[in-house]
Each structure stands twice: as C-alpha cells, then as structure tokens.
Structure 1
Amino acid sequence: MAATALLLSLAGCQCSPSESDTASKGTNAFQRVTGDDVESDRSQWDQVYAQDAYVYGKEPAEVLVENIDILPVGRALDIAMGEGRNAVFLAKKGFVVDGVDLSEVAIRKAKRLAKEAKVEIATINADLNTYQIKPETYEVILNIQYLQRSLIPQIKRGLKRGGVVVFENQTVDQLKLPNSQGIRRDYLLNVGELKELFKDFKILHYSEKNDGKQAVARLVAMKP
C-alpha cells in the first residue's frame, strides 16, 4: 500500500504568531509526514494535530476564498480535510460538506471548529489510498496541500457535470527554497503538471507562484 503523504507547510499556513510558534516546536519550516503503512501515517498525523492550536490556523485557504463566488453551491467534498478550516468555511457559505481525513485527532478538531462556527459538516475517517469517492455526487471537490495522483480520476468522476475542483499543492520549485529539507520530490507537482492533469476540464483559474517561501500551483476547473 502506498504511504499516505501530506506536506505540513508552516511557512505557508495562515496561523496567528502563537499558533505558528506552537506548531513549529521541534520542526523546521517544513515537515514531511510519511509512513510505511496507514497506521504509521495515522499515528504521526495524530501527533502533529494533538496540540491545542490549529496547525494551519482557522482561516480558509486563499485560493478558496478568492474563488468562492464562482463555485456552484451544493454538496462539497474536502479531501485531506485536516482540522476543518476549509470545510467549515464552505459550510458557512451554504454548502453541504463531507470532509475526509486519516487522522481522528484532526477530525475531532474539525468538529470543534464547526461547532464554534455554528455549522455542520459530515466527517469521514478514512485512508485516501483506499477511499472511494462516490461518482457524480459533488458540485465542488477541494484538494488543498495534498497530492495523491491516483485520486485524480476519482475526483473527476466524483464531480457532477458543471462541478468544480479547487486544487492546490507545492511544485518542485519548492526544493530550491530554504527549509525544504526532507520533502520528497514525488509529493510535489512538476511545473505545468496540474494544468495538464485537468486538461479535459474548463480551466477557470490557474497559477504557479513562488514567493520565496512557497512554490505553489493553484487550479480551479469545471467538469464539462
């Protein structure tokens, strides 16, 4: 079984200073969490999320906020949801949200965040190596700071016609930046790869940026 892998990017997280300081204790700016099996991954991510502070903060991802007005309201799936910042934001905007994550600790924090915001989200504790996205189910599928190429066909099938995918992940240019030691190249997008992966979709937004802290590709695309 392929290891589940996520990039904890503290340099790019929208944390308050206190949250960032807490999250960075014992780590460099970037921490790669991987394992030989799902239980190893689960244990390591549970440890990352065990702190009281929200590792990525409570504010939603910039790419989601900037494009929220063009997303068709309905059912949304948040892949590798983490502590729920994006799922809760979508719920506040009227979406019916399913959030999937390997870490039970992250899911508990996501539920807590939803309660604070007085919204509801459905949470699914699952290994994304084996999780099956229901076909033709979602108006929006969100994939932020997670790269599992084998999921791309499922994302496409999981969207209804006219549905939109919002996708963000670091590119290989990240390896040229400071504090990127230990990041595996196969968990980074090649330059131009994300756009190519969704070339059969209508591209609504695409960018690749390197601000000296993160090298990130962002895509918003509609299923024809």
Structure 2
Amino acid sequence: MHTEMDQEFWDRRYAEHRRVWSGNPNPHLVTTASALPPGRALDVGCGEGADALWLARSGWRVTGVDISEVALGRAREQARLEDTAVAARVDWVHADLLEAPPEPGGFDLVSAQFMQLAEPARSALFSGLAEAVAPGGTLLIVGHHLSDLQTTVRRPPLPELFYTAEDLIPLLDGGWDITACEARPRSVADTEGHQATIHDTVLQARRHGPSHAQAPSAAGPV
C-alpha cells in the first residue's frame, strides 16, 4: 500500500501517460467554491492543475500541493497558458503532506479530491487538513465510496482505500458545522462503455468563527 502512494509511483504514472486526468475541475469543488467568497485555498494532490487553475480564475489565491514532481511540471506548463494574473495567483509546492502537514489555520478552503489512502495514513492526512482550515473556512473532502466496488466501473480491489463521509466525522472536533455528509450518485461509463451509477463520498464542513477570507499578495509556507 505505501509503495503505491509514494513519489516514485506517481512520477512513474504521470510519465507513462501524456495526460492522466481530464483537465476539467472536479464538479463537487466547483459547486462548493462557487458559493464562497474567494480567499486562500489549498488544493491537495493538485495533479496536473485543473482545480487550482479554476480556483485562480475565480479569484482565489491557491497553493497547489502534490507529491509528484512530474505532475507539478505539467501544472506549471498549463499555468503558463493562462492569463498572467491567473498564473500569479497559484503557488505550486512539491510536498508530502503526511511528512509536512499544511499551515494550521492558514486556508479559507481546503480541498482534497479523491485522496485514496489506507489507514492510518488517511486519518493522519485528513486530520492535518482539518487543522489547516481557518475560522469560518471550509473543508471539502471527496473520495470514492466503498459501494463502487460493487459496480462495473474499474476500481482497485482494495476496500481499505475506500471510505464513507461518516467515517471522516470523528476526525473533526466540535467546532464545525457539517454542511454535506453523503454518498452522491453520478453516472459514468464503465470499461465496456456502458453507463453505470457510482457514488462519491462528500464531506463538507465549515469551521466555527468569523471568516477572514482574503487573497494575500503571496502565499506563505505550506
């Protein structure tokens, strides 16, 4: 399990494919962030940069973090195609957030999209991400739901990588309002090209306290 999640694995995966992801922002992030005032965002596992750049176009100051140098190289290349002002709103950071957790209370939005880690790494990562949310800020965690293993969509036969939103609630202290805790259905094509219904684990929570959302001139350390 741990070797699959290390930098060598992800660098190799990105190097073997011209593009790994669609290039489109994750829809649950778009829905959530569109309802928030822009501030400082942390995009966890930013990959080729689609989410971070969408946030920057929407006025957010973004720190995009990934364990893969190859992925970050592609994200930087994509950023060069953007308007200069948009590109300047993103800082790309190479880091393993299990080894170096993000700045506590430093972000108005923390987004983790499909970070499929086994325990205890999953709880360690998500606990650190919750700590990184500023008062009044939002935590958004989206993952593959365990029920996906019963569908015809390709998923690794490793149930320890899958989780429900309810599994994540104990990682939060009492200072949160839970605004979404569910398995959201969506339709996708399976390996045979047939439509199948899968479910995304979605946990969205707002930390108690007044929002201090703002877009500083430069992002501090993660």
Uncovered stretches (5+) of structure 1, i.e. residues with no partner? 5-33, 36-40
Superposed counterparts of 1:166-185, under 5 Å = 166-180=140-154, 182-185=156-159
Specify which of 26, 49, 70 is matched with residue 14 of structure 2: 49
**Cross-structure match for 2:184:** 209
Deviations 1:41-99 (A, max 9, x none): 32221122125643211110010111223223211111111111101111111111111
1:124, distance to aligned residue in structure 2 (A): 1.2
CA distance in 2, matches of 1:84, 1:132: 20
**Cross-structure match for 1:134:** 103
User: SS of the counterpart of 1:216?
Assistant: strand
1:195, distance to aligned residue in structure 2 (A): 4.6
1:181, distance to aligned residue in structure 2 (A): 5.5
Contact 1:144 1:169 survives alignment (8 Å): yes
Letter in 1 for 2:2: A
Uncovered stretches (5+) of structure 2, i.e. residues with no partner? 117-121, 187-195, 209-222
Specify which of 115, 120, 124 is matched with residue 150 of structure 1: 124
TM-score, normalised to structure 2's length?
0.76
Contact 1:136 1:159 survives alignment (8 Å): yes
1:143, distance to aligned residue in structure 2 (A): 0.3
CA 42–165 in structure 1, closer or farther in 2 if over 3 Å, else same: same
Letter in 2 for 1:222: R
CA RMSD of aligned residues (A): 2.2
Deviations 1:95-117 (A, max 9, x none): 11111111101001111122222
Question: Which of structure 1's runs of 4+ aligned residues deviate more than 6 A?
Answer: none
Total equivalences in the alignment = 189
Specify which of 77, 80, 101 is matched with residue 45 of structure 2: 80
1:175, distance to aligned residue in structure 2 (A): 1.4
CA distance in 2, matches of 1:84, 1:154: 22
Check if 1:3 corresponds to 2:2. yes
Aligned identity (percent) is: 25
Letter in 2 for 1:204: T
TM-score, normalised to structure 1's length?
0.75
